[in-house]
Structures are given as C-alpha cells and as structure tokens.
Amino acid sequence: MAESSRISGSGGVRADARRNRDHVLVAARAVFAERGIEAPMAAVARRAGVGVATLYRHFPTRDALVRGAFAQQMETCGRALTDALADPDPWRGFRRLVETVCGLQREERGFPAAFVAAFPDTAADHARSRERAERDLMTLVRRAQAAGALRADFHPSDLAVVLVAHCGLVTALPDDAAASRRLVAFLLQSFRADAADGPLPPPASLALRGFPMAAGRP
C-alpha cells in the first residue's frame, strides 16, 4: 500500500484509501461473524491487511466500524420498515417486515449479533433514528391489531423476543435456513388474531432499542 501510494498521484491515493476502506469492511464482517462484534480492532486490521492506524483513520470507533460494516443491511431494514408501513394490507406489511429482518439475520452472520448487542447511546443521531424507528414499529403493530389481523395481546416487545430467539437459532445453526424459516413461520402463525388460544404470560420488558432498524436508519 505504501508502495502504491508513492507511485500514484493524488487520485491514486484516494483510490487506495477507498480500497483500504472496502477491505476493512469486508474483513470486519468476516471477523464479526466469527468472533462477534467485540472482536479486537487489531484482528480486523490484520484480516484486512492494513495497519491499525489506517483502520482507526477510517473508523475512529468500534461503533463506527460496526455501522460501516452493516450499513447496507441497516438500510435494507430501514426500507423494510418504510415499505411495511406503506403496505395497504396491515398484516402483510407486518409479516414482511418480520420475514425481511429475519432473512437478513440468516444471511449475514455477523449482523444479528451486531444489532442484538445494544448500541452505544452516545451519538444523538442514533437516539433520534431509534426513536423514529420505535414509533414506526408501534404504528405498524397497532395498525395490524386495529385491522383484526394481529392478535390484540401482541406486545411490541414481542418483536424483540422474535429477533433475539431467531438470532440465537441462526447463530447456532448458520447453515440451516430451513430451521430459521420454520421458526419464523410458526411465530407468524401464532401472531395471527385467530390463532390466539388462551391468555399469554405477561410481555417481556425488552425495549425495542436492540431492534435492527432502530439503530441505523439514515
């Protein structure tokens, strides 16, 4: 890298920087998938073949690195929430959101851990986008309940229950897409108003803050 910086012009330096950044993001996804998002920054740098200083120049904090690594997935989650709210069929919107987010958890191994793990609360834009996402999720749930499709005793925290359980499943069985689809299908059928079969135990006190799209919507 130092070599190619020396022989290229300033455009080449910028291209190098972009390349390094991309290498870091690919490496970060791989390392997070294998070792969780608590993996040492140095392990990511090593995997990317860049120095630790270069890594920190691109991503000054672990939080920034995690967000960078999963920016595309976060965007997909954010879009799924927007689409779900725009769906004229409240139940279909709700169902698709659950399926999309679980699909992402299944396909990108580092992703679940990255967002089930609580995000640092420091950045104000985080807090704002999370609040908006929580509000949108509440709207989605209430709309599906008002339509008589989602059971009345469904609690927004149940979304977190689904995601944490599903995250555990895909982490334990990363190659078993059938198990993941099966779990999601059972849960969605259970959430239908007409499946309600006696009282449920009280809802969990889980906040939606661990919810994927709550952390990273632009």
Binding site for a second copy (CB under 8 A): 116, 157-158, 160-161, 164-169, 171-173, 176, 178-179, 181-183, 185-187, 189-192, 194-198, 200-206
As a whole number of angstroms, the distance between CA 17 and CA 13 comes to 6
> Smaller CB distance to a second copy: residue 50 or 160?
160
> Smaller CB distance to a second copy: residue 85 or 171?
171
> Smaller CB distance to a second copy: residue 68 or 168?
168
Minimum separation from the CB atom of position 105 to a second copy (A): 11
For residue 206, give both structure tokens.
């889980």
Closest Cα partner for 97 from 155, 33, 140, 147? 140
Question: 150: which strand partners?
Answer: 192
Displacement of CA 92 from its chain's centroid (Å): 21
For residue 69, give both structure tokens.
């690594």
> Smaller CB distance to a second copy: residue 57 or 192?
192
Minimum separation from the CB atom of position 104 to a second copy (A): 16
Minimum separation from the CB atom of position 127 to a second copy (A): 22
As a whole number of angstroms, the distance between CA 142 and CA 81 comes to 14
